[in-house]
A and B are shown apart, each in its own frame.
Chain A
Amino acid sequence: LSRSGGTGTLAQWVLVELQGEVEPRESGSLAGSLLGDLHYTCEGVPVLIVGHHILYGKVVQLEKPFAVLVKQGGAPQPGPGGPHGHYTVTALIKTKLLFKTRPKPIITHVPKKV
């Protein structure tokens, strides 16, 4: 049996949608590692620099917003029948940054020293 409830106003988060998978650079956990820099052009186009790639995206208002459910304690095991356990709604997501264009590789001629 699960329950979700809000205390006070719910936080608004944003979804970032990327093609492909996210993998850690070295084999290890992702926690703490950098993904990249997120800029916006003056026209509001999101630009994400990940490693040696530039990704151009767009801001999308979601027709169907998402709720972010966080499992309270216990093993996070969605069984065949569905999610079981105790969940809380932590945040709502109404906006996403969709990066669908193929990443442009950053071509460096000479490594620049900072």
Chain B
Amino acid sequence: AAMRSRAEVDATLQTAKLNPAELLPAVHCLSFGPQAGGGECCLLQLEPGLCAELEAGRSLVIRGEKDEQAVLCSKDKTYDMKIADTSNMLLFMPGCKTPEELNADPAFCNIFHSQIAGFSNNYWELRRCRPKLKKLRKLLMEDPYEGPDSQNDQNLTFSKYTTEDLLSLIQASEEEILHQLQVIDACKIEGYWRILEFDYEMKLLNHVTQLIDSESWPLSKVPLCACLEELGSLEPKEMIEHILLSYGRKYVDDAGEVYFEMNEDKICRAIAQMLLQNAVKFNLSEFEEVWQQSVPEGMKTRLDQLQGLALVDKSSRPETIFLLKVEDLPEDNQERFNSLFGIREKWTEVDITPYIKDLCAEKQTVGALLTKYARSSMLNGVKVYNSRRPIS
């Protein structure tokens, strides 16, 4: 289209009965650019902090496979994406000056021929969400590491994942993924992230606890060097160090020696899992006895060490205990509650908390979740929660 001239602009002002004296001298003649109708551009509304990240040159990534709801990830946060419709028309204008900018420079008294780059009546809205990390464990469990002697490891690499692989498959930010890898005690073997197969992990742990026992080391001061020396002939040194890191806290003393303070709760918990996974359920008192006898000398077992791992049934006679791992339950809030109420009709807050606290959003409490997804009632003077829906 022909560009408008000053004469045409002034004529329009006159027809509109606008007084040029009341207007700034500059005018923008707006037209639609060549790409305008193409739908190539879209708008993304930025949550606090994201704008600064983009301006600092950092990237945002949209992640999600065809069957997944897309999420947006910054370096350390994950956001759900949702289309928001507006009844208005939004036009995107590059190079359009604001009154401040025009006033700042008296030289701006021209005609700006501004092209509209695109337009839309909707935009993407972001809402911070929990990173979708359940898939991470699922991927790593496809091929758990069973030790150097295992035959499996020689063959296939297609079910093994590098950091890059995980970044492209998991709907979470890089920092959230790396943090979760640490939480689940994954380790890097030959460039691939691996989870240890449980029996192998217990085998390694057993080597260490037996050595601690035979050397009479205090549980808070287990020397790395000696462990590697004594156990290095039995297992790869990286694996020995890995098990110490998984079940202990690393520190360096004044002399520069590396020690581990063993995590009593975590060790007791692992041994409980080893015992519980062998049957559907156990007589509670029998289990507690065997469990205490199975843990290393000097460690004390307590039922609260098993939160999110096992559930006690106080209504059965005798009381029983069975394995119920929170990581085996659904990730979606409603599905998680459905699953829990399917296992047990009524829950006390104390019992259900370990199985729902990972669902809490940034500032959400367990109480808020219960209010939303459950209904409360009193049972024998105790407050219990059950499903909002009728159980079929």
A111 CA to B92 CA in the complex, in Å? Answer: 33
- Asked if A15 and B93 sit within 8 Å, CB to CB, the answer is yes
Q: Considering the complex, give the chain B residue whose CB is closest to the CB of A3.
A: B61
Q: Which residues of B contact A71 (CB under 8 A)?
A: 40-42
- Asked if B54 and A91 sit within 8 Å, CB to CB, the answer is no
Is A108 interfacial (CB 8 A cutoff)?
yes
Q: Considering the complex, give the chain B residue whose CB is closest to the CB of A80.
A: B69
Minimum CB–CB distance from B170 to chain A (whole Å) comes to 12
Q: Which residues of A contact B114 (CB under 8 A)?
A: 38
One of B11-19, B223-231, B352-360, B364-372 at the interface:
B11-19
A48 CA to B60 CA in the complex, in Å? Answer: 35
Is B293 interfacial (CB 8 A cutoff)?
no
Name A's interface SS: strand
- Asked if A35 and B64 sit within 8 Å, CB to CB, the answer is no
Minimum CB–CB distance from A35 to chain B (whole Å) comes to 4
Residue in B40, B42, B55, B90 whose CB lies within 8 Å of A15:
B90
CB-CB under 8 A for A81 and B70, given A1-B168, A33-B32, A34-B1? yes
A46 CA to B327 CA in the complex, in Å? Answer: 56
Mark contacts of A58-100 with chain B using CB atoms, 8 A cut-off: 1 yes-contact digit, 0 otherwise: 0100001111111100001011011110010111111101000
A102 CA to B90 CA in the complex, in Å? Answer: 16
CB-CB under 8 A for A81 and B66, given A13-B94, A92-B55? yes
- Asked if A92 and B54 sit within 8 Å, CB to CB, the answer is yes
CB-CB under 8 A for A83 and B30, given A13-B117, A15-B90, A76-B39? no
- Give me the interface of A with B, judged by CB distance under 8 Å: 1-6, 9-11, 13-22, 29-42, 44, 46-49, 54, 59, 64-71, 76, 78-79, 81-84, 87, 89-95, 97, 106, 108, 112, 114
